[in-house]
Every structure is written in C-alpha cells, then in structure tokens.
Amino acid sequence: MAGFGAAHRLQAEGITPVMYDKNAYYGGHTMSFRHEPGFVFDIGPHISFTKDERIQDLFAESVDQLYETIQINLNNYWRGYWPQHPVQLHLHGLPEDVVVKVIADFVEERQKPEGPINNYNDWLLASFGPTFAELFPKQYTRKYHLTTAENMSTDWLGPRIYRPSLEEVLRGAISASSPNIHYITHFRYPQQGGFVSYLQKFVPSGDIQLNHELVSVDPRARLLTFSNGTICSYDLLVSSVPLPDLIPMIVGAPRDVLEAARKLACSSCVLVNIGVDREDISNAHMTYFYDEDICFTRLGFPHMLSPNNAPKGTGSIQAEVYFSDKYKPFAGQPRDWIEPVIADLRRCGLLRDSDRILCRNAMYLRYANIIFDLDRAAALATVHGYLDDLGIAYCGRYGDWGYMWTDESFKSGEKAAGAALTRLAASQLRQRAQVA
C-alpha cells in the first residue's frame, strides 16, 4: 500500500516509476488469495475505516464504487466470557468479584496524584488500576507484542486504547446495553476480490517488475542488485523494505547502524485460514483473545466483510498466532498450527464437532506488527538518520517502522515520494549552479 502511494504521488508529477517486488504478485501484505471451494482470505485483517475523504474517494474509485459499508462489531474472549469491545466499557456479566475489584482499583487510581509515565505498564496502571491492567491489556500484550508492558513505550497508543471516565465504567458494569465506544464505528470493504481490489486503479501508476528480490543497494553508484541477477541504476529510491532487511543490504553500512537495525523488534505471525459449512459462527467481525492457554491472539471472520468472500451458506475464520525473532522465535512449519487452532476454536465453542471443515491452510508472515519496545526510539533515530544522509526515502509500516493503518501507509508512500522529489530538485539546482 505504501509503495503504491509513492507511485501515485510520482505519477501526479508525470513520472512513471519502476516498482520492484520480490513476490510473484503485487500488493505485499495487501494481497488477497482465493482458496477452493471459493474462500477469499486477506493477509491479515484488512478493512478501510479512514476518515480522510481524499483516501476514501481514491479507494472507492479503485473498485468502481463497489464496496460494502458495514457497522463494526468487536468482542472479546476471556475465561469463557464474551464481553463486547472494549472490555473496560463492558464489564457487565463478568464475575462479580472481578467487577468490584476493577471498579475499586479504578476509583483508587483516580484519587492518586499523577505520577511519571515511563512505560506502557505505568500508563495502564494509571488508567485502569492493577486488576484490570493485569487481567486484560497486560495479558494481551504478552500474546500480541510478545514482551511485557514494562518493556514497551506509549508511542504507539494514539486512540487505540480507550481511557474511560468513572461514569462510563460504572454504566458498563451495571448495564448490558452500555454505549459502544471505539475508534472504529464503520468500515468499507470491496465487494469482490478481497482487500487487494483497492489497488486495482493504482497498478498502472508504475512499471511493476515482479520476482525481483533486492539483495544489495550501492548508494554511491546508485545501483540495485536483485537475487535474479538483475542490476539497475536509480535516480530516486523509495523503499518499503523492512529496515532490518534493508540496512544490511546497503554497501558500506557502518557498524552502529547495523547494530541499531538489529535492535528493531517486530512480531511475526502464522495465519491459519479455516472455511466451515455454516455462516453463523460469530456475530463479531473480530474477536480478541486474552487467555494465554489459547494459541491465537485474534480472530477475524472474512465472510462477514463481503458475501463474496465465501460460498453461500458457509463461513470463514482467520486466526493469528504470534511470534517474534527477538522475544519468541518461530520454529517448525506454518501448517503445524492448523490443528491447534482448530482444537482451540472448539474449546471456545466457535467450532462444533458437527462442523465440516471445507478449507484449511496456513501461511507464515515474517513481518507482522511493530513492537514498540524501549529499544525502538533510539535505534530508529539512528537508522532513519543514516537513510536520510544517503537520500534513501522510506515508507510504510516497515520503512517508517510504525503502527500504521492502510490509509496511513498509503500517505506514508506519498510523503516519501514527495521527499525524494524535493531532494532531486535540490540536486538539479546545485548542478545548474555549478555549470553556471
């Protein structure tokens, strides 16, 4: 998505860039795959909930205005309970002693003077108190980010975790119909072909060269070398290659920059896709799982995003099982997780013994979510500073090394292309000055 954002920006200046992709298909993590007998799965949960009208219009035009607009429904699973999301606003129905302790802690924290917030754990305790923090977000952090809240910064939070008032917590504890407050209310999704369809109209923006895996960048000679033997020159370079991969490819990269790149942490993910012979699996579009004895961290239900994502009368489930090279390395094969996921789906009651599984497959994503651990900020400053010095523009979740949604990734690509154009214009001006 970031790469196509960059191409879109360059095309607006009359430039058709060459776009290199290591895969045999375009789209990266925006890609969607069709599996027999007619199930469509994206690479991870993708929906468009941007409030940026320009991006809304661009994506809508790309699918000829053929998209679904859906009111989102999110829920959670914790020790056999299914509270609505976010949990802090929907305590009703949880064990009474848990609810009482959560509220008591919440009131007590509100009466304390504000202390320093040095990490995510400090923020959670100040926001919710120890009981809720430990039972829910700290537990989820260990499953999703693969490290502890004490080892994470708060740079990534933004609107992602809602900090409620006491009145909102109380209302959600005594009433089953408390308001649904979340940063996503509605989303859009293409009617046909999965999320990758949003790229249709952007494909002509660049000259796409598939099966070109980058192995070397020579910034002095401005040369790129690919695993298939291709060597080419460049005028401007905009990269969405993950920084821990990109930096070792750069000829002459200094030791401190290489070390900083190695400190950048990211999760990896096994996606397990399941197709079932019924569609009434869940009424939620996504479910968050806190229990650490359940192998998956989050579930999505692609058939609820578009009726064309699954054969009529069937349903689909996508499970996310997380790892991290830095904190919890992945070993084995992706398919090893298919049966454990199915077993835990049955434990939760989402799959029945009578269900017929029509489709099952798994894939491994080496890069999933950026982990905002305490090493990130300093390491990223070193890496980005080095790339800035070389004139290599970076974009996307793994180039900016940030927690980016789809529209943010697209705009990140536009911004990187703009920065590259500015640098080129300055270089041309200096050359003309030297000639004069």
Q: At what angle do helices 137-144 and 120-128 cross, to 10 degrees?
A: 150
pLDDT at 424: 83
Nearest to 17 by CA among 38, 2, 32: 2
Does residue 129 sit within a domain? yes
| Residue 300's CATH number | 3.90.660.10
What one-character-per-residue DSSP string does 392-419 give? EEE-HIIIIIS---HHHHHHHHHHHHHH
**How many domains does the chain divide into?**
3
| Residue after which a domain boundary falls, among 143, 174, 205 | 174
Residue 114: the pLDDT is 87
Same domain, 300 and 328: yes
Assess whether 394 and 413 both reside in one domain.
yes
Q: Domain residues for 149?
A: 86-174
Residue 421 token pair: 């154009």
Question: Does residue 38 lie within any of the structural domains?
Answer: no
* Structure token pair of residue 285: 């579009």
- The pLDDT of residue 394 is 98
Spatial distance between the Cα atoms of 251 and 335, rounded to a whole number of angstroms: 37
Among the candidates 129, 149, 174, a domain finishes at 174
Task: Give me the pLDDT at residue 429, please.
Answer: 60
> Residue 3: what residue type?
G
Residue 180 domain flag: no
Choosing from 109, 141, 174, the residue where a domain stops is 174
Residues 384, 256 share a domain: yes
Q: Given this model, what pLDDT does residue 433 score?
A: 61
Distance of CA 221 to the CA centre of its chain: 35
Paired tokens of 279:
């569609």
Q: Which residues of the chain have pLDDT under 70?
A: 179-183, 429-436
Question: For the chain, what is the largest distance between any 2 Cα atoms, rounded to a whole number of angstroms?
Answer: 81
179 CB-near residues (< 8 Å, 6+ apart): 89, 168, 171
Domain match, 278 and 357 both: yes
Query: Could you tell me if residue 97 is inside a domain?
Result: yes
Residue 424 sits in the same domain as residue 356: no
Same domain, 95 and 165: yes
Cα angle at 18 between 16 and 19, to 5 degrees? 120
141/219 same-domain check: no
What CATH number has the domain bearing residue 237?
Answer: 3.50.50.60
Q: Is 370 within a domain?
A: no
- Give yes or no: residues 287 and 327 share one domain: yes
pTM of the model: 0.94
Q: Are 62 and 111 members of one domain?
A: no
Asked whether 412 and 1 are in contact (CB, 8 A), the reply is no
Residues 91 and 148 in one domain: yes
- Tell me if 392 is assigned to some domain: yes
Nearest to residue 6, comparing CAs of 394, 434, 432? 394
Query: Do 249 and 271 belong together in one domain?
Result: no
User: What stretches of 168-241 adopt beta strand conformation (E)?
Assistant: 186-190, 207-209, 214-218, 223-226, 231-233, 237-239
Alpha-carbon distance 340 to 270, whole Å? 12
Alpha helices in 323-405 (DSSP H): 338-347, 376-390, 396
Please tell me whether residues 49 and 17 are part of one structural domain. Answer: yes
Q: Please choose, from the candidates 147, 379, 362, 360, the residue with its C-alpha nearest in 3D space to the C-alpha of residue 258.
A: 379
Rounded Cα–Cα distance for residues 109 and 123 (Å):
11
Pairing of strands 231-233, 223-226: antiparallel
pLDDT value of residue 163: 85
Residue 107 falls inside a structural domain: yes
pLDDT of residue 177: 78
Examine residue 359 and state whether it is found in any structural domain, yes or no: yes
